[in-house]
Amino acid sequence: MKTTIDSIMKKVKDKNPGEMEFHQAVHEVMCSVERALDDYPNLIYHKIADRMIEPERSIIFRVPWIDDQGEIQVNRGFRVEMNSALGPYKGGLRFHPSVNLSIIKFLAFEQVFKNALTGLNLGGGKGGSDFDPKGKSDLEIMKFCQSFMTELYRHIGENTDVPAGDIGVGAREIGYLFGQYKRIRNEFTGVLTGKGADWGGSFLRPEATGYGLVYFAANMLETKRDTLENKTCLVSGSGNVAQFTAEKLLEFGAKVISFSDSSGCIIDHDGFTIEKLAYVKELKNVFRGRIAEYKDRYPHAEYYRVNPKDTSNPLWNQEADCAFPCATQNEINEKDACHLLENGVLLVAEGANMPTSERGVEMFIENNILFAPGKAANAGGVAVSGLEMSQNGYRMRWPKKRVDEELHKIMKRIHTICRDYAKTYSSADNYVDGANIAGFLKTANAMTDQGYV
């Protein structure tokens, strides 16, 4: 079977040179899936893996826009429509200067398996731009979003491809993107999720990824007859996922002691309270400030600025029971993983996509801690996006309680599926193998049913 992985990885590397993040994501999935392939020889015959690593469509486009000084700026836009075996392509848009084809492809690839795990009819895709929203005026953001949608609208639609938010794309950007789509197509349809609550958005969509992550972590601890109560937790990032992860952790009686952004991290050993969290939300969502400013209001907190020479992040070198990386890919490297383990971490649940390096993941698994990969643990966001699509189809809005119950059920089901597949092909606590194998097989079976497409 090793020959299958070697041959797939050779193809991935030959066809996508230099796309390190994409290679990493494919390698991780293939290493898990090899454990199951003996039971499914038809998947090799049907060249399922070869097909899965090739996007159905990759769109790269120019996004010209005019800044507040009247100067023309040009960014690059992407949409990778990876796999539609299970439904319309679904996955967020990321606006961040680091965005390139490799990052969008790895995110789209991960999204395929994540969406399969939700049990909803959703294919996988992802998009974005190397546009940096930081420091831009509202008007500049609007002009950029309008230009971005002026090309993207040709490729998306409520039954074709339904984007949502991701890093740098929140309620404000979804609003501008939706407005432009409506204007060009003259139709009010559920073509984007994460819409405003008064115009087609679902209750709890903003909260869903963070809340779902905490529900998943609680399910994991339950298998050890343990709970989140009084657990000291590290949360990285300070955006959408981080904020609502912290909010739900506080509700579950945990103590959250950290947040971060791309400039540095803040540690508050007294723990964040609801009031302190409200300040973080205001700082990031209203003033669009830096997490360092937390210290202006709460001077006892420690702040560590990102030092490019540092090979580890001080955030992950704190004593804690649980860690929730909610910022970006590969934010936990081998050294960070080592620090977390030395400091006695017992659970790591990924809110971000692929935030742990491959070696970091191996170390968590070798040390038998509970480790939840993003494609399982952060699936609550896309799951509620799926529920938003259903509500839009019926022009209805479900009450908050109903959405939360559905989210609970979906996260519990994903947890059970991961464990079931892990028990069959690996070991019960190996959520990485469980998630990869379950997501792969579901997508593979649909691809087989649909012929050589």
Active site residues: 126
Please, which residue, 37 or 407, has the CB nearer to ligand NDP? 407
Q: Return the number of the residue (163 or 237) whose C-beta is nearest ligand NDP.
A: 237
**Could you tell me the sign of the dihedral formed by the alpha carbons of 409, 414, 419, 421, in that order?**
positive
Q: How far is the CB of 404 from ligand NDP (least distance, A)?
A: 16
Nearer to ligand NDP, 8 or 104 (CB): 104
34 or 247: CB nearest ligand NDP:
247
* Residue nearer to ligand NDP on the CB measure, 102 or 150: 102
Report the distance separating Cα 112 and Cα 71, nearest Å.
39
Give least dist CB 16 to ligand NDP, A: 20
Q: Between residues 139 and 306, which has the closer beta carbon with respect to ligand NDP?
A: 306
Binding residues for ligand NDP, rule: CB under 6 A, are 96, 165-168, 170, 209, 237-242, 261-263, 326-328, 351-353, 378, 381
Taking alpha carbons only, the member of 290, 312, 299 closest to residue 268 is 299
Cβ-based nearer residue to ligand NDP, 134 or 183: 134
Of 84 and 378, nearer to ligand NDP (C-beta) is 378
HEC string for the chain: CHHHHHHHHHHHHHHCCCCHHHHHHHHHHHHHHHHHHCCCHHHHHCCHHHHHCCCCEEEEEEEEEECCCCCEEEEEEEEEEEECCCCCEEEEEEECCCCCHHHHHHHHHHHHHHHHHHCCCCCEEEEEECCCCCCCCHHHHHHHHHHHHHHHCCCCECCCEEEECECCECHHHHHHHHHHHHHHHCCCCCCCCCCCHHHCCCCCHHHHHHHHHHHHHHHHHHCCCCCCCCCEEEECCCCHHHHHHHHHHHHCCCEECEEEECCEEEECCCCCCHHHHHHHHHHHHHCCCCHHHHHHHCCCCEEEECCCCCCCCHHHCCCCCEEECCCCCCCECHHHHHHHHHCCCCEEECCCCCCECHHHHHHHHHCCCEEECHHHHCCHHHHHHHHHHHHHHCCCCCCHHHHHHHHHHHHHHHHHHHHHHHHHHCCCCCHHHHHHHHHHHHHHHHHHHCCCC
Which residue is nearest to ligand NDP, using beta carbons?
Answer: 239
- CA 211/CA 193 separation, integer angstroms: 17
Contacts of 432 (CB under 8 A, 6+ apart): 28, 32, 361, 365, 371, 373
Buried-exposed string 209-239: b where 16+ CB fall within 10 A, e elsewhere: bbbbbbbbbbbbbeeeeeebeebbbbbbbbb
In angstroms, give the least distance from the CB of 206 to ligand NDP: 8
Q: Which is nearer to ligand NDP, 43 or 165 (CB)?
A: 165
Instruction: State in angstroms the smallest separation of the CB of 10 from ligand NDP.
Output: 28
Tokens of residue 292, six digits: 């360092």
